[in-house]
Structure formats: structure tokens, C-alpha cells
Amino acid sequence: MADILPSSALVFAAALWYSPVGQAGASACLTVMALYGTAPEAMKPAALALNVPGASIGTVRFYRAGYLRREVFLPAADTPGRIPRGPEPGQLG
């Protein structure tokens, strides 16, 4: 219980650091959890639970500021996994 305040302060500082550029900071949250000895099975859902609201807030703020165009964002957000990317490993050869 004594580790909760320092780790919470570090996660909050990471959120402040990442937020101006529109990122949610999951990598920093995972780093803090790893430094404090959190089990890997608990880190994944905790990072996701912290990352989704942070990314959502960043997306809304960028949209309201006019940096995010709906016609570009919505097709990409609506089709996860179907965005074109490079060949899978082993396909070239």
C-alpha cells in the first residue's frame, strides 16, 4: 500500500508528459508498473484501462482544436486490422 502514492505520482507525471502530443502514455504506465513489481498478467489490463480514456480525451481535444479531420479519422477508426500494411513475415521469398 505504501507504493501506491509514488507509483500513482509517476503515472500522473507520465500522463502529463504524453498528453500535449496526443498520446495516452501506456508505455510509461507499463514502465512504472514494471519498476514497482506488478505481475505481467495485471499490467496488460491495467495499461489498457489507463490508455483508452487517455487516448479518447486526446482524440477529442485534437478534434475540437481542428487538428483531426473526420473524413480521415473515421475510416481508419472503423476498420481496425484492415488498414493496408506490409507483407507478413514469410510471404516474400
- Domain membership flag for residue 81: no
Answer yes or no: is 41 within a domain: yes
Residue 93 lies in a domain: no
Q: pLDDT tens-digit profile of 3-43?
A: 778 888 888 888 777 777 767 778 888 888 898 888 989 98
pLDDT at 2: 60
Instruction: Write down the pTM of the prediction.
Output: 0.59
Q: What is the number of structural domains in the chain?
A: 1
Per residue in 72-90, pLDDT (tens digit) is: 777 777 666 665 666 666 7
Instruction: Give a yes or no: residue 12 inside a domain.
Output: yes
DSSP codes of every residue in the chain:
-TTHHHHHHHHHHHHHHHGGGT---HHHHHHHHHHTT--HHHHHHHHHHHHHHHHHHHHHHHHHHT-S-HHHHHHHHHSTT-S---PPTTS--
Q: What confidence score (pLDDT) does residue 51 get?
A: 81
